[in-house]
Chain A
Amino acid sequence: MCSTPAVPDAPLTTHTIEFPYTRTLGPVVGPFLTGLRDGHLLGVRNRDGRVLVPPLEWDPATGEPIDADFVEVGPAGTVETWAWVGEPTRKHPLDHPFAFALIRLDGADTGLLHAVDAGSPDRMHTGMRVTARWKGERIGHITDLTFVPEEAR
């Protein structure tokens, strides 16, 4: 049975698993996504005074609780690092080439992962300024916005 498997011309079987999950958001992610729907970006201040974006319920470094002390951040920020996605997957937020970037929003102390619609990798560089581009119809979801180079506004 276990001879070295050649790649045969055998038929492929196809199996799809799909499910519409519904997630409850709780006291921190909920306000964050509510903010997105309403066109604001929220961070949360931890006990050391650092502003975490996306806001978390607990300090990731220590596990200590974070009081829900929300701080408005952005909508512009600085690219800390980026990757050029030449061929987006169907799960990506944009259907044409874009950059994933860690964006330190103005007023934040951490990088938010999001998509930058820059058109070309030539327009991307670490340290560049980007700003939120909001969708017209927003539902309270991380894809209610993408980012664009600031000069492109």
Chain B
Amino acid sequence: MTPDTAEPDADGPVTMMDYFMQLEYHELLCPVVRRYAEQLLDGKLIGHKCPSCGLVYLPPRGYCPICVVETTDADEIELADHGTVTNYTVVTPVQYYGQEETEPFVRASVQLDGGNATMNLQDLVDVPVDEVRVGMRVAAVWKPKAERDVSEISNRSWGSAEGCIDGWKPTGEPDLPAEQFLGKAAF
């Protein structure tokens, strides 16, 4: 699906033109995401628990959009780095400009133990793509402390963990029943 590039015949009519757009954006990390990033470097996953409804947001956003209340450091909680795959998809990468993926890859939602916090778009490791299941128990594979990198975390992604966590690997525990998750927690 890569667009054809304009290849004008040197003498024929010009029917196409190229335009290369390149824009750079430099943004300050917002305080709650900055704090989240610092904790990631330390090997901890943190979220904000809404003081009103108890839903947990990871990474913290500084508010609960459901209750429309602000959340602060006082609402911070540390979350488990293991949980259950609640949904996933296997993506066959489309080769658009800038795409680096070439082989099918998994993106999973992992609901962390001990609450409702879910991490979306997570990579799974040590499991073949066709063996991924809803209900599978997984644990974070942290990078060695020296290799952890939060430079990719931005306000846009609300802070992914991929610079600090290689992915999530099966723990070997029995699966939780899929019905418990389907349609309840998702991307």
B-binding residues in A (CB < 8 A): 1-2, 7-8, 10-25, 30-31, 33-34, 37, 139-141
How many angstroms from the CA of A13 to the CA of B3 in the assembled complex?
30
How many angstroms from the CA of A23 to the CA of B151 in the assembled complex?
35
How many angstroms from the CA of A132 to the CA of B155 in the assembled complex?
47
How many angstroms from the CA of A12 to the CA of B179 in the assembled complex?
43
User: Nearest-CB distance from B161 to chain A (Å)?
Assistant: 15
Q: Which residues of B contact A14 (CB under 8 A)?
A: 24-26
Total interface residues on B, CB under 8 Å, equals 37
Given contacts A8-B28, A14-B24, A21-B19, 6 further A-B contacts (CB under 8 A): A12-B26, A15-B26, A18-B23, A22-B4, A22-B5, A22-B18
Residue of A2, A10, A12, A139 touching B70 (CB-CB under 8 A): A2
User: Contact between B21 and A17 (Cβ–Cβ < 8 Å)?
Assistant: yes
How many angstroms from the CA of A111 to the CA of B29 in the assembled complex?
45
How many angstroms from the CA of A8 to the CA of B20 in the assembled complex?
34
Does B1 interact with chain A (Cβ within 8 Å)?
no
User: Contact between A15 and B27 (Cβ–Cβ < 8 Å)?
Assistant: yes
How many angstroms from the CA of A13 to the CA of B20 in the assembled complex?
23
Query: Can you list 27 pairs linking A and B with CB atoms under 8 Å apart?
Result: A1-B31, A1-B72, A2-B70, A10-B34, A12-B27, A13-B26, A13-B153, A16-B25, A17-B21, A18-B20, A18-B21, A19-B98, A20-B3, A20-B18, A20-B20, A20-B97, A22-B3, A23-B16, A23-B19, A24-B16, A25-B15, A25-B17, A30-B13, A33-B14, A34-B13, A37-B14, A140-B14
Does B6 interact with chain A (Cβ within 8 Å)?
yes
User: Contact between B16 and A25 (Cβ–Cβ < 8 Å)?
Assistant: yes
Does B167 interact with chain A (Cβ within 8 Å)?
no
How many angstroms from the CA of A25 to the CA of B98 in the assembled complex?
25
User: Contact between B14 and A21 (Cβ–Cβ < 8 Å)?
Assistant: no
Does B156 interact with chain A (Cβ within 8 Å)?
yes
